[in-house]
Amino acid sequence: MQLPWLEPGDPLPDVDTAWGESDPVPGLLAAGGGLDVPSLLQAYAKGIFPWFSEGQPILWWSPDPRMALKVAEFRLHRSLRKTLAAFRAAPGCEIRIDHGFEAVIAACAGAPRIGQGGTWILPEMMAAYGALHRAGHAHSVETWIDGELAGGLYCVAIGRAVFGESMFARRADASKIALSALVCLCRRSGVALIDCQQNTAHLASLGGREIARSDFVSQVAHARRERGPEWHFDPVYWNQLLPARPSFTP
């Protein structure tokens, strides 16, 4: 099957036309096009994302099945529970939202995904998601420890449809803390699903699992029309995963 080539501004093909298991690269949908804000919003609204390496054209993907994390199924292991409880209690630890988006995406670019050589977060991708952030549709969830950015992640959001992109850690478990905070924010805001794009053992260990592309696209179509979260983090949100701290009565 010949891969469609897109000129800038061309609409993306239907996800059902993506290459399947009998094709050279399952999940690949099209090449070319542009990374402007309207094109990215069109893609994510349809369950499509860009992913390409240096020297390649823009490549658009819609794998079947799709890796996703249902926030109600987030797996809070005992060790992570202890880490979150200690983080919540420490005065120098905090979660910030959109405080340093550019720093987060730059750090993610310097931390390639397991099993990949180099990085797929190229300068044009950083510029594109920076523009998407300024348009209000890309956000960073940041783990700060003693005034330093220790880890974090960035994601795309259209209404209540949330799409995880990449994460990094400079200290142990800092990226897991950020993901846990995102889960808390999503639970608090009625977001049911976080897109994980591709299956990894790490995401599976935290409760991510593959779902049929048709189910994923249907859920995105509904969620993107709903009012999205307020992108800030209050420490009380930790109560979504941890026992509520007793209030102090003088």
Listed in sequence order, the DSSP H helices in 46-158 are 78-89, 101-109, 123-134
CA terminus-to-terminus distance, the chain? 72
Distance CA(85)–CA(74), nearest Å, equals: 16
3-state secondary structure of 69: strand
Residues 63, 18 contacting (CB under 8 angstroms): yes
Supply the pLDDT for residue 114: 47
- Six-digit token pair at 188? 């608090």
Supply the pLDDT for residue 246: 63
Supply the pLDDT for residue 186: 98
CB-facing half-sphere around the CA of 77: CA atoms within 13 A:
11
> Which residue ranges in the chain fall short of pLDDT 70?
112-119, 246-250
- Number of helices and strands in the chain (H, E): 7, 11
Alpha-carbon torsion, ordered 182, 184, 185, 186, to 10 deg: 90
Distance CA(217)–CA(131), nearest Å, equals: 24
Number of Cβ within a 10 Å radius of residue 159: 17
Number of Cβ within a 10 Å radius of residue 248: 5
pLDDT, tens digit (0-9, with 9 covering 90-100), for 155-210:
999 999 999 999 999 999 999 999 999 999 999 999 999 999 989 898 999 999 99
Domains of the chain: 5-63 (3.30.70.3550), 67-240 (3.40.630.70)
Residues 196, 67 contacting (CB under 8 angstroms): yes
Handedness of CA 73, 77, 80, 85 (dihedral sign): positive
